[in-house]
Each structure stands twice: as C-alpha cells, then as structure tokens.
Amino acid sequence: MILVDTSIWIDLFSKRPKYKVSVDQLTLFVTCLPVIQEVIQGLKPGNSSEKIRDGMLALPRVCDPLGIDIYLHAADIYKQGRSRGLTIRSSSDCLIAAIAIESKLAIWHSDRDFAQISRFTNLQSIANLF
C-alpha cells in the first residue's frame, strides 16, 4: 500500500497529468484525512468535483480517526527539521508524514517538504512511482 499525497492527486486530476495510473494500480493507494481535506478544498464547483470527492471518500483511509500521538509526532517532525536548519513549509505535510511513518507506508509525492522530511526521519519517500 502507498499513501498518495495531495500533490500527486492534483496532477492525476489535471487535464494533462504527468503521471498515468491504471485502475489496477489504484488498488495500491490509500489516503488519510488531511489529504482528503486538501484535495476537496481545492476542487472547483461542478460535476467532476462531486465525482472526485466521492472517489476520494471511497479510498481506504489510514489513521482514521487521528489520535493525539499523530499530532505530537507531526510537531516533532517540524521541530526536528528546524533544528537541522530546514523549514518545512506546511504543517499539514508534517502531519501527513507522521501518518505515513506511523502506518509504515511509503508516500508518493511531488512536494519538496517530503523529500526534506525523509532526510531526517523514517519516512519512505517516492518521487517517481509510475
């Protein structure tokens, strides 16, 4: 199983996606609540938005519900980065990284925050999957 970050979903839902994913490959993917929030809040009103929303809600979710330990882990990730001179731009990325680490999942992304986080944590970061 692979946790797919918002940055990849945005690409997959675009008119000219960089990545191509088959229906069979979708069965490898899981999501989490922060990714669902980021994807849905970025949707433009319309028919396809409802389909994307329904599709995101149909994916298997990890760490649902989120416990305080995940938030504390995310805060630690942010602080560890700062202590190494790295500023993680998004606290949501720290939360998503903590979810991936706690769930022992690799994260597929096109976001530099995850590349940085993987330098000082156990995050398994995948920049190019397909």
Q: Extract the tokens encoding 36.
A: 């669902």
Question: Across the 130 residues of the chain, what is the mean pLDDT of every consecutive 10-residue run?
Answer: 97 92 92 98 91 96 97 98 95 98 97 96 90
Classify the C-alpha dihedral 35-102-90-20 as positive or negative. Answer: negative
CA distance 128 to 110: 8
Q: What is the pLDDT of residue 120?
A: 97
Cα atoms found within 13 Å of the Cα of residue 29, Cβ hemisphere only: 25
Q: What is the pLDDT of residue 127?
A: 86
CA distance 56 to 88: 26
Closest Cα to residue 111, out of 68, 122, 123? 123
- Sorted by where each starts, the structural domains of the chain and their CATH numbers stand as 2-126 (3.40.50.1010)
